[in-house]
Structure 1
Amino acid sequence: MDWYSAIFELIDMRSFSNLWYWIALAVLWSTTSHWVLGVPWDMIQRAGRHGGEAQVDLEDMVRINCNRLLYIAGVSGLWLLGLVSGLLTSLAMLGFWYGIEFAQAVFLLAAPMTLVGALSLNTARIIRDGGLTGDGLRRRMMRHRIQTQVVGMLSIFVTALWGMYQNMSIGAIGS
């Protein structure tokens, strides 16, 4: 047995029947929901509980991350939009038109993350343009986190349904 066969036996390339795919999906959404615009959720909670220096630190970190996101979007937003839409289109075509399960799995990870990216840009623009601070900033960050969690729940639900369908249809063909 060569190394190529050994690796592909160890790592099942049928993504939806692979435990590692589901672990990666859970870690992706857990991490995405914890880091709100690049700010850890516990920092937002601490600023709400203690105020003072914790609130100043939160406002500084949010300002830095919002300015960074909006600068990147302003400088290379159209290029990123073109590249991401091309990549998602390629994954969708390979996955759902040509039936490549790995492309389906990656698409089901990447497509909702682009929606979260768009929500993040929108939230960053609202925070910067509104000059949000204090309680208003924390409420906006909480709203963004809830929106991200809703996208994550829908994504996990759709991915689980599609994965079960794939596993049952492949299981029915194999028997």
Structure 2
Amino acid sequence: MNWHQTVFELIDMRSFSNLWFWIALAVFWSSASHWVLGVPWDMVLRAKRVGAQAEIDLQDMVRINTNRILYIARVSGLWLLALACFVLTGLAVLGWFYAVEFAQAVFLLMFPMSFVGAMSISTANRIQVEEATGELLRKRLGRHRFWVQFVGMISIFVTSLWGMYQNFQISPLG
């Protein structure tokens, strides 16, 4: 057995039958849910529970990250949108027109994350416009986290259905 076979057995390009893809999907959405606008969720909970310096730290971290997100969106947002549309369209064409399973898997990871990116920009803008602090800030972050988790649940459900369909298509019974 040569090293090419070993590598391709370890990293199977048939994504939906590969355990690594499902682990990556779980880690991907778990991380997206934990890091709300770049702020770890435990920091939000600690600010609510402890207050004082933890609340100030949360507000500073959110201010830094919202400024960063909105700066990137203002300066290069149009280019990033064009690049994202190009990449997603390319993946969709490769995945479904040319039946490249790896492209389908990457598309099913990236497409829902584009919604999360748009929601992050919207939430960052809203926090900055309202100059949210304290309870209002935690409410905005909590609501954003809820919708990220909702998009993640829908994404995992659709990806699971498509993955099962793909696996049944190639199975000896299909």
**Which residue does 1:145 correspond to in 2?**
145
The RMSD of aligned alpha carbons is 1.0
- In the TM superposition, residue 84 of structure 1 has moved relative to its aligned partner by 0.6
**Which residue does 1:4 correspond to in 2?**
4
**Equivalents in 1 of 2:9, 2:107: separation in Å?**
23
1:75-94 residue pairs with structure 2 within 5 A?
75-94=75-94
- In the TM superposition, residue 170 of structure 1 has moved relative to its aligned partner by 1.1
Counterpart secondary structure, 2:132: coil
Q: TM-score, with normalisation over the residues of structure 1?
A: 0.97
1:46-65 residue pairs with structure 2 within 5 A?
46-65=46-65
1:20-99 residue pairs with structure 2 within 5 A?
20-99=20-99
Deviations, residues 114-171 of structure 1 (Å, cap 9, x unaligned)? 1100000000000001100000000000000000000000000000000000000111
**Equivalents in 2 of 1:61, 1:133: separation in Å?**
12
Q: Does 1:121 align with 2:121?
A: yes
**Equivalents in 1 of 2:10, 2:33: separation in Å?**
30
Query: % of aligned pairs identical?
Result: 64
2:128 aligned partner, one-letter code: R
- In the TM superposition, residue 172 of structure 1 has moved relative to its aligned partner by 4.3
Counterpart secondary structure, 1:48: helix
Aligned length: 174
Counterpart secondary structure, 2:99: coil
**Which residue does 2:102 correspond to in 1?**
102
Gaps of 5+ in 2: none
Gaps of 5+ in 1: none
- In the TM superposition, residue 83 of structure 1 has moved relative to its aligned partner by 0.5
Q: TM-score, with normalisation over the residues of structure 2?
A: 0.97
**Which residue does 2:132 correspond to in 1?**
132
Off by >6 Å, runs of 4+ in structure 1: none
Counterpart secondary structure, 1:72: helix
Counterpart secondary structure, 2:113: helix
Deviations, residues 25-52 of structure 1 (Å, cap 9, x unaligned)? 0000001100000000000001011111
2:94 aligned partner, one-letter code: L
2:131 aligned partner, one-letter code: G
1:87 aligned partner, one-letter code: V
